[in-house]
Structure 1
Amino acid sequence: MRMAVGHRGVVLVRDGFSTRRMWLFECLRCWYVWEEAYLVRHVTDDHGNDVEVWLQGGVPVQPPWSGTCCPGCGVYHVTSFPVGYLAQHPELAPAPEPEPLMAATPVARWVPPARAPLPGRLLVAMGLPVLAFIGYELYENLFVRTHPH
């Protein structure tokens, strides 16, 4: 621990160092493979214990083994691989992002003709069998039962 003198007095500054680490993950649901970069600060606390602070984009985050979420499907059921695993298995490396294409100008599309709304077709589909059934029952009750052979 060093002491630095500022305009407000003595400030305690902890000695430490930082390392960059890449972690390779694979989702156990959708099999998506991705890599995340971390900055790990190694410092010593006031009691002499070594502490690691994990950062992404300058923001403290949980360590990679603690609740990583798949960016592909959103589940938390992921596994990680040891350091250097991706270098030994380049076929697992995430594909580079494709170059964005220039925006195409919109072209007029063919639009299919409008169809009858579903409730009208549903009434016809349900109504015809019901009408046939009622007609048969009327015929059966009025003519066949009242005029026996």
Structure 2
Amino acid sequence: MPDEFDTCETWPFECLRCLHVWEEEFVVRHLCDAYGNGGDIWLSSGVPVQPPWSDACCPACGAYRVTCFPPGCPAARRPEPEPEPEAVLMPWPDRASAPVPERTHLPGKLLVALGVPMALFVGYELYAGAMAAVHPHP
């Protein structure tokens, strides 16, 4: 006879980029079939999601460099960074000496999603070209 029960778990997260700390609440639906095989379905706001330890994104800065702690751990392992004193901005003498803004980096998953197919395509074209040069068609 299939067995099913739900548990509510609160998982603490910390962003390794901006040190933002937050908690998310999940409902875990534990399932067991007639043969004793078990599985879990993770729900957030009633929607099936990945488990908390995979694919978390920081709500503050959007980074994927996020660590999570098991339920029951304190939400913050490190103290929150103290706010820096407000800087006094001075006008720059000319535009040429203005600082260059920091370059934003694309998320690693996007680079892999674009780079791997492109590398496979280029590699195949190089291989096909080399084979055509070695074995020309009559």
With normalisation by structure 2, the TM-score equals: 0.51
- Structure number with larger C-alpha Rg: 1
Percent of aligned pairs with the same amino acid:
56
Deviation at 1:33, TM superposition (A): 0.2
Counterpart residue number, 2:72: 84
Distance 1:33 1:88, change over 3 A: closer
Q: Which residue pairs with 1:41 in the alignment?
A: 29
Q: 2:61 aligns with which of 57, 60, 73?
A: 73
Aligned residues: 80
Q: Choose which of 5, 27, 32 in structure 1 pairs with 2:20.
A: 32
Structure 2 matches for 1:94-109, cutoff 5 A?
none
Query: Which of 36, 39, 43 matches 1:51?
Result: 39
Residue type of the alignment partner of 1:84 = G
Cα offset for 1:48?
2.7
Determine which structure has the larger strand proportion and give its number.
1
Letter of the structure 2 residue corresponding to residue 18 of structure 1: D
Structure 1 unaligned segments of length 5 or more: list them: 2-13, 93-149
CA RMSD of aligned residues (A): 2.3
Distance change (3 Å), C-alpha of 1:71 and 1:58: same
Separation (CA, whole Å) in 1 of partners of 2:76 and 2:44 = 25
Residue 23 of structure 1, aligned match among 5, 8, 11: 11
2:9 counterpart letter in structure 1 = R
Instruction: Report the TM-score, using the length of structure 1 for normalisation.
Output: 0.48
Gaps of 5+ in 2: 81-138
In structure 2, relative to structure 1, the CA distance for the partners of 1:88 and 1:65 (3 Å cut) is closer
Secondary structure of the 2:9 match is: strand
Return the alpha-carbon distance in structure 2 between the equivalents of residues 87 and 19 of structure 1.
20
